[in-house]
Amino acid sequence: MDANLAFDALADPVRREILGVLAAEDECSAGAIAERITSVGRTAVSTHLKVLRVAGLVGERREGRFRYYSIDPAGSARDVLTLLHQVFRTGLQSVSDAVPDEEPRSRHAVHGPGTA
Amino acid sequence: MDANLAFDALADPVRREILGVLAAEDECSAGAIAERITSVGRTAVSTHLKVLRVAGLVGERREGRFRYYSIDPAGSARDVLTLLHQVFRTGLQSVSDAVPDEEPRSRHAVHGPGTA
DNA sequence: CCGATCTGTCACCCACCACTGACACGATAG
DNA sequence: CTATCGTGTCAGTGGTGGGTGACAGATCGG
């Protein structure tokens, strides 16, 4: 399973930061991401992007000389979540309850607000 | 957030294997865990156990000269799940659908010893 | 065609992590 | 008290991964 790669990819703080940027911007070019990541240089961001892509956590869309990256919710992230839920039998309700409105930019009501 | 430590702890295959053992056995002494982990020696298992404990993923119960470890669903695992759900807006329904309420003790593919 | 831009890749260096054997400490048995 | 068991920890070593600057390929603008 490539969940191994995904776990490894998720272990790096910079990569999680990149995922955060992607989650907030929905889609971003490599350069735009690198601008928002100040802890490391553009080269490192590029490498991290590759790791995330190979791990199946983000998707890539090429357009001209730009490459737009975006979160891939259907990728190996699902495996990771499933695995985690198998090991830690955390109630899904509790988890969704712990994710109220911490994202002002996201209007995705995936988890039923209030009482689902 | 100590989710950083948790992500780091989860990145190691051996540690995930240990978590798999713990998830299957519910509670295990350090020696018993080490017996079930054949890829590395007892010393390494002990160190991994410490990492998992510090990360807030497992709990420790001391009894005599034994130390029993167990999954800690209320620990930082919750933060990890929350974070992951924030970034990857995976439908919780789908995930819960993939995780049966009772987990069969036979097919536990949590730990991929990779090349074992 | 030529230059500028966007991005990925390479070689290199450094740091960190994991693994092991040896040793130390607490606990139980006799 | 002494021997032994169960575990954790320490020092040493080696491999792997991350960061950077330089370079290469591709694409747009003039």
Chain B residue whose CA is closest to A104: B86
Q: Which nucleotide has the shortest C1'-to-CA distance from A47?
A: C8
Q: Has this prediction a pTM greater than 0.75?
A: yes
Looking up residue A56, the CATH number of its domain turns out to be 1.10.10.10
Task: Say how far residue A98 (Cα) sits from the centre of its chain.
Answer: 18
How many beta carbons lie within 10 A of that of residue B27, not counting itself?
12
Considering its fold, how many domains does chain B have in total?
Answer: 1
**Are B73 and A83 inside 8 Å of each other by CB?**
no
Residue A35 domain flag:
yes
Residue B105 domain flag:
no
Residue A12 domain flag:
yes
**Are B89 and A82 inside 8 Å of each other by CB?**
no
Exposure class string for A91-110: b at 16+ Cβ within 10 A, else e: ebeebbebbeeeeeeeeeeb
For strand C, the positions having any atom within 7 A of a protein Cβ are: 5-10, 17-22, 26-28
Can you give the residue range of the structural domain that contains B14? 3-98
**pLDDT tens for each residue of chain A, 116 residues long:** 579 999 999 999 999 999 999 999 989 999 999 999 999 999 999 999 999 999 999 999 999 999 999 999 999 999 999 999 999 987 655 555 444 433 333 333 333 333 32
Residue B106 domain flag:
no
- Which residue shows structure tokens 């009501």? A109
**Are B7 and A4 inside 8 Å of each other by CB?**
no
Residue B62 domain flag:
yes
Q: How far is CA B74 from CA A33, A78, A88, A89, B90, in A?
A: 34, 21, 8, 9, 21
